[in-house]
Structure 1
Amino acid sequence: SGYSPIEDDEDVYARNRYKETPWCSPIKVKHGNANCRTPQGEYYKNVLGTRCDIRCQKGYELHGPQQLICQSNKRWSGKVLCKQIRCPTLSMPTNGGFKCIDGAYFNSRCEYYCSPGYQLKGDRTVTCMDNKVWSGRPASCVDMEPPRIQCPSVKEKTAEPNKLTARVFWETPEGRDTADGILTDVILKGPSPGSHFSEGDHKIQYTVYDRAENKGTCKFLVKVRVRRCGKLNAPENGYIKCTGDGDNYGVTCEFSCIGGYELQGSPARVCQYNLGWSGTEPTCTPMNINVAVRTAAALLDQFYEKRRLLIVSTPTAANFFYRLQLGMLQPEQCGLDLRHVTVIELVGVFPAQIGRIGVKLLPAALALQLRLLLRIPHYNFSVVVMDKHGMDKERYSFPPTPAQLFALIDTFPLRKEEMKLQAETGQSCT
């Protein structure tokens, strides 16, 4: 009879009823599953009218309709396929790359790396997500490491004799980029090699840039030393004039005295390599005029390169021009001393003739020789102006004013240098 006590009556009935009903082939979804609902119960899940919801496993996506229906032609209403989820292919970073454990498929992890000299910017690791995008930010490789440059060590040099500078050379340092080896610019801050450097320390800096505008710098010092003997001072009642900086190796310092003083010691001293001065320390002592000489030439030699002479000659002390001349000169003694002028008076006619330099009297014979040597008239008033080299510069037959005399003397070659020195030391008659 076909009845089995272990079978449900309704199931037997249903089987008999749908025995001739077309059935669809069983649904097999690779990497997925089908959840089917039938009009006749679970046992008849492939019968006509069965509806199956298709779902894919995690990491897979459905291609086709989400629901299939078993049709009367014994075919399902569509075709489905679960394909593995795949993210877009990652772009290869410039100057770097990446490694993935499972290509670009779901849950694959890719790790970025950079070539030597470049640094990673962004996320080092990204993962392919189920929404077909990569987690994180794709990385890039950027040159963030500064280029390298090595400067020379400290450069030290001593100035040559008579010089306050030294010429210093060095090899220009070359930069090296750790990435692509290309440098765009090299900038020097400070004097270039071969320049003349003054005394002291000078900072030299080189800066290099790469194409990513990273910069590298290096610094070094140029040290220039000047050998010095120490400053010399002008002697009291005298002047000092030095070449160079006044105390550097090789310079010469010359000394002179103001009018009425004579130099004792070395007239010039040189700064030597051992940092000592040559010669002996000079002093200025009051000039001692020797009137006990035999000739007028010997008398004049005492003033050579030391004093200028203003010789006033008169036939008698009562001469009007003579008295007028002395009256004008007496209040101008400062101006005469400032210009290194010594006044010699020749008064009278031989044999009643005398000479005088300040308070010192000249023998009559010496006074006569002086008139004869300089061709000064005996019987007329006369004034003779002589420079420090014994040259006859001007003659007057009447009393010149101090202003005339000073204007004349100030034009003499040596006088210009004297005025400069006197201005520096503050000597004046004001």
Structure 2
Amino acid sequence: AQNNAFTSLPNNLDTALLAVLVAFSSFLSSPGSGQYAYGDDEEWYSHTYTGTPWCAPIKVKHGDVSCRTPRAEHYKNVMGTRCKIRCKQGYEAQSPEVVCMASRHWSSNYACREIRCPKLDMPTNGGYKCSDGSYFNSRCEFFCAPGFGLKGQKTTTCQHNKVWSAGIPTCVDMDPPKIKCPTLKDKWAEPGKLTARMTWDTPEGVDTADGILTDVVLKGKPSKSDFMEGLHKLSYTVFDRAGNKGSCRFTVRVRVRRCSPLFAPDNGYMKCDSDGDNYGATCNFKCTGGYELQGSAARVCQYGLTWSGAETNCAPMNINVGVRTAAALLDQFYEKRRLLIISAPTAANHNYRFQMTNLQHAQCGLDLRHVTVIELVGNYPAQVGRIRHTLLPPMLALQLRLLLQISQRSFQMVIVDKQGTDKQRYPFPITAAELFTTIDTFPLRKEEMVLQQEAGQSC
């Protein structure tokens, strides 16, 4: 029995070996000889290899493969083989591990694909440029539109974890708007004026960002206004939507042509219109009572900055005592001086002497009130008439007494106003203070007092 079994063994072994040889020769004769194909076209491999259900050999670009077979087979792509995929920096495996399936296909795609970050959003009012799109290690640089400034990181880089190294910055309107003011406005005032009308166009602001601006605000007088003499500083201001401010400044200058200043003459007054010495101004002159105007009563400041007319002076009145009548004598004082006529029968008259002594120290007050004293002393033909140091002819002195109805026999004092009116009579002496109080109530006196106060005239 043993011999039979042993005898039959070679026959069985020969049969098995023959089958293996046939299968192996079939495998060798086929294109799928088990050698690695240079590529990863799994579909092409599965159609070409019709022998043992092995998967296409794995070859990974931008990475490497580590495989483990079920029974430590020589070939690394038999069914059940597990392969781990490792990609180089900047790449990632679609599947970190794949298995060779009975279908002759690997369990999933094993290619190494380049790492890619999410697409960046475009910053408002700006943009970016990248060295390699959204791929690993791509460096993107942000920029803003004209007029905007970058707030945040200027660059960002795609990292291996698919996250950008920095967030998206914002573009902020940081540039102030620009505005250009008018140039210096320079103008001469018109005749008789101290102002000049200035006109200019309102400037417009320019914004380099979005162009949206607020109203232009002027600090100072607006265009078409009258400006006084001198320099006037003005400015315009404008804001953009972000609150940035743009300003500019300019100057308005008004000049006035002026003559050399005039002054009131001694014993006179000067009254000027406008500013007194500017081009077109007129100055009028008047003399105080007892003084006569010489030269021009009015002078005008001309374009050439010289005064018209001749220099003005106030000269003392030249009283003509050679007239024939008392009326002619009084006419010389009309609207110029007030008269205080003191009459006494003799120079030894007690009232006369008291009155003259009292007035001796009041000459300034008399001149301030435009009062001329006329003395009539004695009886005709021996009477003496006198205006200060000027003597009147006896007949003229007699006519004056007759005209004013003054008695020759007793002391009497008469005040005659500038209009030739007999205002007040005194049969006895009075003090200078009483006399001045009375005269200060006369017409024109209040106006005179104002002028004297302005001129600084006092005793």
Secondary structure of 2:285's aligned partner: strand
**Bigger CA radius of gyration:** 2
Q: Residue 192 of structure 2: which of 162, 165, 169 is its match?
A: 162
Secondary structure of 1:284's aligned partner: strand
| 1:36 maps onto 2:99 in alignment | no
Shift in CA distance, 167/385, structure 1 to aligned 2, threshold 3 Å = farther
Alignment partner, residue 9 of structure 1: none
Shift in CA distance, 301/160, structure 1 to aligned 2, threshold 3 Å = farther
1:292-307 superposed matches below 5 A: 292-307=322-337
Alignment partner, residue 56 of structure 1: 87
Q: Residue 93 of structure 1: which of 86, 110, 123 is its match?
A: 123
Instruction: Show CA shifts across 1:100-142 (max 9, x none).
Output: 4654232334443433443444455533222323345534333
Alignment partner, residue 211 of structure 2: 181
CA RMSD of aligned residues (A): 3.5
Alignment partner, residue 353 of structure 1: 383
Secondary structure of 1:141's aligned partner: strand
Which whole-Å CA distance do the structure 1 matches of 2:247 and 2:158 have between them?
Answer: 43
Residue identity opposite 2:136 in structure 1: F
1:69-80 superposed matches below 5 A: none
Which whole-Å CA distance do the structure 1 matches of 2:104 and 2:308 have between them?
Answer: 130
Which whole-Å CA distance do the structure 2 matches of 1:22 and 1:235 have between them?
Answer: 138
Which whole-Å CA distance do the structure 2 matches of 1:203 and 1:344 have between them?
Answer: 64
| 1:328 maps onto 2:373 in alignment | no
Shift of 1:70: 7.4
Instruction: Show CA shifts across 1:61-111 (max 9, x none).
Output: 3454x4567799999888756444222332222223334465423233444
Residue identity opposite 1:34 in structure 2: V
Shift of 1:320: 3.7
Shift of 1:180: 2.1
Secondary structure of 1:398's aligned partner: coil
Shift in CA distance, 304/62, structure 1 to aligned 2, threshold 3 Å = farther
Residue identity opposite 1:286 in structure 2: P
Shift of 1:315: 3.9
Q: Residue 223 of structure 2: which of 193, 197, 218 is its match?
A: 193
8 Å CA contact 1:384–1:396 kept in 2: the answer is: yes
Deviates more, 1:193-202 or 1:76-85: 76-85
Which whole-Å CA distance do the structure 1 matches of 2:163 and 2:403 have between them?
Answer: 122
Secondary structure of 1:400's aligned partner: coil
Instruction: Show CA shifts across 1:318-339 (max 9, x none).
Output: 4443333222211222221222
Secondary structure of 1:383's aligned partner: strand
Which whole-Å CA distance do the structure 1 matches of 2:413 and 2:292 have between them?
Answer: 26
Q: Residue 280 of structure 1: which of 303, 310, 319 is its match?
A: 310
**How many percent of aligned residue pairs carry the same amino acid?**
67
Shift of 1:187: 1.9
Shift in CA distance, 338/275, structure 1 to aligned 2, threshold 3 Å = same
Instruction: Show CA shifts across 1:39-65 (max 9, x none).
Output: 87694545688664322233233454x
Which whole-Å CA distance do the structure 2 matches of 1:361 and 1:336 have between them?
Answer: 20
Alignment partner, residue 374 of structure 1: 404
Which whole-Å CA distance do the structure 2 matches of 1:387 and 1:41 have between them?
Answer: 153
Shift in CA distance, 396/88, structure 1 to aligned 2, threshold 3 Å = farther
Shift of 1:252: 1.9
Residue identity opposite 1:93 in structure 2: P
Residue identity opposite 2:88 in structure 1: Q
Alignment partner, residue 7 of structure 1: none
Shift of 1:280: 0.6
Deviates more, 1:121-130 or 1:37-46: 37-46
Shift of 1:299: 1.6
Which whole-Å CA distance do the structure 1 matches of 2:438 and 2:120 have between them?
Answer: 100
Residue identity opposite 1:407 in structure 2: T
Which whole-Å CA distance do the structure 2 matches of 1:73 and 1:154 have between them?
Answer: 93
1:120-131 superposed matches below 5 A: 120-131=150-161
Instruction: Show CA shifts across 1:12-60 (max 9, x none).
Output: xxxxxxxxx9977644556543223568769454568866432223323
| 1:383 maps onto 2:416 in alignment | no
Shift of 1:344: 0.9
Deviates more, 1:134-143 or 1:74-83: 74-83
Unmatched tracts of structure 2, length 5 or more: 1-16, 19-51
8 Å CA contact 1:185–1:210 kept in 2: the answer is: no
Residue identity opposite 1:162 in structure 2: G
Q: How many residues align?
A: 412
Secondary structure of 2:433's aligned partner: helix
Alignment partner, residue 25 of structure 2: none
Alignment partner, residue 8 of structure 2: none
What's the TM-score once normalised by structure 2's chain length?
Answer: 0.77
What's the TM-score once normalised by structure 1's chain length?
Answer: 0.81
Residue identity opposite 1:152 in structure 2: P
Which whole-Å CA distance do the structure 2 matches of 1:41 and 1:409 have between them?
Answer: 149
Instruction: Show CA shifts across 1:160-219 (max 9, x none).
Output: 222211222222222232332211242212211222211122222111111122222233
Shift of 1:412: 4.1
Residue identity opposite 1:94 in structure 2: T
